[in-house]
Amino acid sequence: MAHERKPLLQLQEDLEQHPTAMSSSSPSSLSETQQSPAPSSSSSSSRSGPIFIASLIALWYSSNIGVILLNKFLLSNYNFRFPIFLTMCHMAACSFFSYASIVFFRWVPLQAVRSRSQLVKIATLSVVFCGSVVGGNVSLRYLPVSFNQAVGATTPFFTAVFAYFVTLKREAWVTYAALIPVVAGVVIASGGEPSFHLFGFIMCISATAARAFKSVLQGVLLSSEGEKLNSMNLLLYMAPIAVLVLLPASLVMEPNVLDLTLSLGREKKYLWPLLFLNASTAYVANLSNFLVTKHTSALTLQVLGNAKGAVAVVISILLFRNPVTVMGIGGYAITVMGVVAYSQAKKKFK
């Protein structure tokens, strides 16, 4: 019995010492958040074989890229023009699967909400998170995935800005200098994007800024030792609140969404399986983000995130045949190199 309980106790100790943040690396998934502290890779890697790590990374890649492409397909190619309702479906799936993972499968210990103040903080995070995901999904109606990923790569820039103004945390000047190509690359990519849409661009930038603000806000609001939650428990409490926010918003801002969805479901027989697959993939993206962070490191996840954006761009161009230019590809490459330089500068001058 002692031998069987050891992994669970070890996991609980890791989570208490290194609480991770819920992801949203992409605009289409919850999965979106590679910016929280994580356990050291040395101890985790020693307990996990290379095949297991490789399997986790493959799951992370496939789920994150899959949810981006599924969102794009549903919103732009399948005539399902309800980004708020789609986000609500993601949240509902995360609520169900999080409850099953924690309560029934006991993958991590259940952490209770300890005060009304903590609940208010979680609700605040949930509303900001909803804004980031909805904005990203709306942008996918107007922008190709390739350009969407280029804009999303500027998340470190907004994170640094919000961290400076909210927490007064200052980085070394070299770190801030590394952000210049991050922004410059998006400006270049915007000028060379043949499918540029101003409203879609504004929504994508807003979603990226909201995602960064959520990361900073989470560090401020949940910094107390007595209020820290690991990522799976945070998702367990945030997702139902998000559903309560998004459902009335969808009914008001997307008139007749339920009737139109049912009608579209009768017209297109694969709509319901696609919606279920999309929502389930969104949860898997969050879970795999949590597992990869635990068994490797935050730096590894950040590097994978940069590579994931490039892979998503290539796959989206092959699948959706959206036109690209040398100028646009060059701008995105500059942004990615800036993000890598920023990560290295933070590591060196922290």
Q: How do residues 155-213 score in pLDDT, each as one tens digit?
A: 888 888 888 888 777 778 888 888 888 888 888 888 778 888 999 999 999 999 998 88
Q: For the ranges 40-44, 152-156, 231-235, 346-350, which has the lowest average pLDDT?
A: 40-44
Q: What b/e sequence results for 109-129 when a residue is b if at least 16 CB atoms lie within 10 Å of its CB, and e otherwise?
A: eebeeeeeebeebbbebbebb
Compute CA distances 65 → 83, 118, 315, whole Å.
18, 33, 9
Residue 34 pLDDT exceeds 80: no
| Greater model confidence, 35 or 153 | 153
Residue 41 pLDDT exceeds 80: no
Compute CA distances 249 → 84, 203, 241, 278, 289, whole Å.
7, 17, 13, 20, 28
Q: What pLDDT score does 303 carry?
A: 61
Tokens 């990519």 label which residue? 189
Residue 340 pLDDT exceeds 90: no
Rg (CA), the chain: 20
Rounded to whole angstroms, the Cα distance separating 312 from 307 reads: 9
Determine what percent of the chain is predicted with pLDDT higher than 70: 81
What's the rounded mean pLDDT across residues 262-284? 92
Burial class (CB in 10 A: 0-12, 13-18, 19+), 295: buried
206: left (phi over 0), alpha (psi -120 to 50) or beta: alpha
Rounded to whole angstroms, the Cα distance separating 268 from 261 reads: 10
Rounded to whole angstroms, the Cα distance separating 96 from 101 reads: 9
The amino acid at 350: K
Residue 18 pLDDT exceeds 80: no
From 26, 21, 131, select the one nearest 70 (Cα to Cα). Answer: 26
Q: What pLDDT score does 193 carry?
A: 80
The amino acid at 167: T
Residue 20 pLDDT exceeds 60: no
Residues 6+ apart with CB under 8 A from 257: 82, 85, 250, 251
Q: What pLDDT score does 291 carry?
A: 76
